[in-house]
Amino acid sequence: MGFGSVAMLAGPVPPGAAGCCRRLLAGALAAGLRPLLRGLPPCWVTPRRAAGQWPSPGLRVPEAAEAEQLVQQVKHTGVAVRRFIACPRLARTVQRCLQRGASRGSQPVLLECGPGPGVLTRTLLNAGVRVVALESNPAFLPNLQSLENSLDGQLKVIYADFCRLDPLTGAVKPPAVCSEKLFETVGVAAVPWKADTPVRIFGILPQSKERLILWRHLFALYERSSIYRYGRAELNIFISEREYKILTGKPGSAGSYQAITVLCQLGYEIQLLHMEPWSSFFTNLKNGGLAIPKSVRLPNDHLCLVRLTPQQNLFTGGLNPKNSPIFVFMVKQCLAKPKSRLIDRLNSWSLDNGSQLLRELEIPENAQTRNVYPEDYKRLFEALQSSTIFTENWWHEEVFENTRNINF
């Protein structure tokens, strides 16, 4: 017998009784479910969202002409030329590259540096990625903030310049930003060095500061400072093809095997994700020029999307964050004159047993510094730690001066 039959048998329902019954039923259900619901996260924090996997909001991605028009309306005031992704096709390619190789588990937040017109931003959001957009030009902020307000926490927009992260001198004034405050704001917590990456970062490096930014990150990586205090932060950056050739140079290669080559190959796993012609990007120049930097010895027809993942085994053997500035200085000194002999460099440091040391390491005594492999530089450093050279004041003063003389 149903509830309707019971009601008919009981006779007419008194006025207001139906509403009272509904309230009593709702109260009973709430009382019964309350113990089951206690301790659950807010309703918007679903398991997928907690794992960094958001449902697609179905945003409209502007066409290239619309994005270019938005960029043209923004006056170019800075010295550095900025490049933007305005083509939806390129945005989809970059989105797929960024998600390539990602595990099915919890995904770290993605910091998009310099989103500009937001073409890639919308593409990433439609793919279910949680994005923190760091934009340094106030003219782009209203469009991005309007998008942020239309979503339920999937996008956060911050007025910041990632290229001015953790300045070494002076007060931190926006758009300069402190990594500690930034990561606290976006909810990134420190993890052990060998754990999965705590945060992913995407950006297009300005050409005038490309090498400088890479050096800043190398110093921070080896010292485990800035973003690397939180773990093995992953960089996904567009750099010039010329710079990519240098980062992946082979020993003995004239012009492409440099100190930054050795340090990058030891410090990062370097993965080429994509190559794109310069013409696919839109610039903030008034005349719409491409501003392609010239290169004589190395090819430079593309921008390369490169993933730099810190090596899990970087701090093994005798290398650690405290003595890493000495190692960086040693490599820079050795490759300052790439055609010089390694033994001559060791002798210039007043090392008495340089020849014996090279024999023990099985490095030819007449080897030029540009022919020494990255792993051998690390082995040489570990062997030198027992030498008196590491206790001499002139060495430490010069190391300090060299490793701290890079700032924006």
- pLDDT tens digits for range 175-201: 999 999 999 999 999 999 999 999 999
DSSP track, 32-66:
HHHHHHTTPPPTT--HHHHTT-PPP--PPPPPHHH
pLDDT score of 170: 76
More confident residue, 32 or 330: 330
What SS3 state is found at 310?
Answer: strand
- pLDDT tens digits for range 8-56: 333 444 445 444 444 444 444 444 433 333 333 333 345 555 555 678 8
pLDDT score of 149: 96
Six-digit token string for 309 = 């993942």
Enclosing H/E stretch for 305: strand 302-310
Average pLDDT, the chain: 84
pLDDT at 157 over 90: yes
Confidence of residue 73 (pLDDT cuts 50, 70, 90): confident
State the CB neighbour count (10 A cutoff) for residue 372.
Answer: 25
**Do residues 264 and 214 touch, judged by C-beta distance below 8 A?**
yes
CA 387 and chain centroid, separation: 37
pLDDT score of 50: 55
CB proximity list for 95: less than 8 A, separation 6 or greater: 120, 123, 124, 127, 129
Pick from 156, 187, 181, 185: nearest CA to 167: 181
- Phi, psi angles (nearest 5°) of residue 302: -135, 165
More confident residue, 386 or 151: 151
Six-digit token string for 106 = 């919890």
CA distance 45 to 52: 10
**Do residues 348 and 238 touch, judged by C-beta distance below 8 A?**
no
CA distance 387 to 296: 42
More confident residue, 356 or 25: 356
Instruction: Return the residue matching tokens 């007419």.
Output: 12
CB proximity list for 386: less than 8 A, separation 6 or greater: none
Q: Which own/partner pairs from 244-248 qualify as long-range (CB within 8 Å, at least 24 positions apart)?
A: 244/272, 244/304, 244/306, 245/298, 245/299, 246/298, 247/214, 247/306, 248/272
**Do residues 239 and 304 touch, judged by C-beta distance below 8 A?**
yes
DSSP track, 247-261:
HT--TT-TTT--HHH
The pTM of the full predicted model, rounded to 2 decimals, is 0.84
pLDDT score of 94: 98
pLDDT score of 61: 93
CA 85 and chain centroid, separation: 17
CB proximity list for 208: less than 8 A, separation 6 or greater: 79, 80, 81
Cα angle: 21, vertex 24, 29; to 5 degrees: 125
